[in-house]
Amino acid sequence: MISPELEASLGDAAAYFVELAVVLIPLFLLASFLVGLAREYLPPERVEKALRERDEGSGNVYAAGMGAITPFCSCSTVPILAGLLQAGAPIGLSFSFLLASPLVNYIAVILLLGLFGVPITVLYIVTTFLAAVVAGVLIGRFDLQRHVKDVELNRTGQQTAVSDGGTCGGTQCGGAVTPPSHKVRVKAAGGDAWSFFVGMLPYLVLGIGIGAFLYGVVPQETIQRLIGPGNPFAVIIAAIAGAPLYVSLEAMLPIASSLADQGVPVGTVLAFVIGGAGVSIPNLIMLNKLFDRTLLAIYVVTVVSIGITVGLLFNAI
């Protein structure tokens, strides 16, 4: 027999699951469509070409901006990074792109908007973007090029058609290929969005389920004791703990929402998200093919430091 207390807790968890699903699934569909559009208009090859032509300084701002608006997973981000470094792009500029890519992207922004509102989302975008720029500039001041492995990673992503000024709408005209029309791109983005949504939906549902369990079943006192405002090391613990718990950003944010609803300060919650998104195990495995241990450690320390800094800033204000 289930005790009345457990039955009530499971009921609260189920209600919270439905509440999160109603908020997040429509937002995730919108984010998926924007991901599809970005892949149509900004394929990895074009991003890499644009970044190769930049210098440090203003180039760090440009690189962080490209990382923010191109929602590539690590299987695309890391090959772009490899191409940049092997083409002689400054390592600091490359780091700005690498740091901004997982922390500031459509999915994170739209889901954060739905979960935490406009002010927190805008402040998150500004602080993480500036952190990617500043960290890239600082890292560029050191001689770290020797810590990059000389490897060629497999490329992924779409190939971009090159226009010869014709009007054949994605067909061959005299041996050249013209880019598809906007209508064709939007339709393709819609198909990509649905495929992306279906593929990521299990992770989103998993995250919602874990969040609902934390909210309805795990005692609030336990969570407060570990990462609540009474623990002076809560932000540090959250930033470090995010990495091994990472499944995907879609799964992390519902968990983050449940922690916030359990009374965990929003800065501590965001430190958890940043640590997980930037230092995820899949991302580290990919970067290990490109960086030696020294540079990999610098990347991990940089991401955790950004998470701690942003967390302390949000908690302070």
| Digit-coded pLDDT (tens) for 134-173 | 999 999 888 887 888 765 544 444 433 333 334 444 444 4
- Is 277 part of a structural domain of the chain? yes
pLDDT score at 165 = 39
- Is 148 part of a structural domain of the chain? yes
- Is 75 part of a structural domain of the chain? yes
**Mean pLDDT over residues 47-66, rounded?**
74
- Residue 65 predicted with pLDDT over 50: yes
The answer to whether 180 and 161 are in contact (CB under 8 A) is yes
pLDDT score at 50 = 65
- Is 24 part of a structural domain of the chain? yes
Domain count for the chain, please give it: 1
Reported as a pLDDT band with limits 50, 70 and 90, residue 51 is low
**Mean pLDDT over residues 271-287, rounded?**
79
Mean pLDDT rounded to a whole number for the chain:
75
- Where in the sequence is the domain holding 271, given as residue range(s)? 4-159+183-316
Reported as a pLDDT band with limits 50, 70 and 90, residue 35 is low
The per-residue pLDDT for range 291-313, each reduced to its tens digit, is 888 999 999 899 899 999 999 99
Where are the alpha helices (H) located in 2-90, listed in sequence order? 4-41, 44-52, 58-69, 74-86
Q: Which residue has the higher pLDDT, 179 or 311?
A: 311
Least confident of 5-9, 167-171, 206-210, 281-285: 167-171
Indicate the pairing of strand 176-177 with strand 172-173: antiparallel
- Residue 196 predicted with pLDDT over 90: no
Coil/strand/helix, residue 159? coil
Q: How far apart are CA 142 and CA 298, in angstroms?
A: 11
Structure tokens at 11: 């009921």
Instruction: Tell me which residue of 217, 147, 178, 191 sits closest to 33, measured CA to CA.
Output: 191
pLDDT score at 309 = 93
Which residues, listed in sequence order, are joined to residue 148 by a DSSP beta bridge? 291
List Cβ neighbours of 85 (8 Å cut-off, separation of 6 or more): 91, 94, 145, 148, 290
Q: Whole-model pTM? A: 0.70
pLDDT score at 154 = 47
- Is 170 part of a structural domain of the chain? no
- Is 169 part of a structural domain of the chain? no
Tally Cβ neighbours within 10 Å of residue 184: 13
How much of the chain is helix, strand and coil, in % rounded to 5? 75, 0, 25
- Residue 82 predicted with pLDDT over 60: yes
- Is 73 part of a structural domain of the chain? yes
The per-residue pLDDT for range 214-229, each reduced to its tens digit, is 766 777 677 777 788 8
- Is 165 part of a structural domain of the chain? no
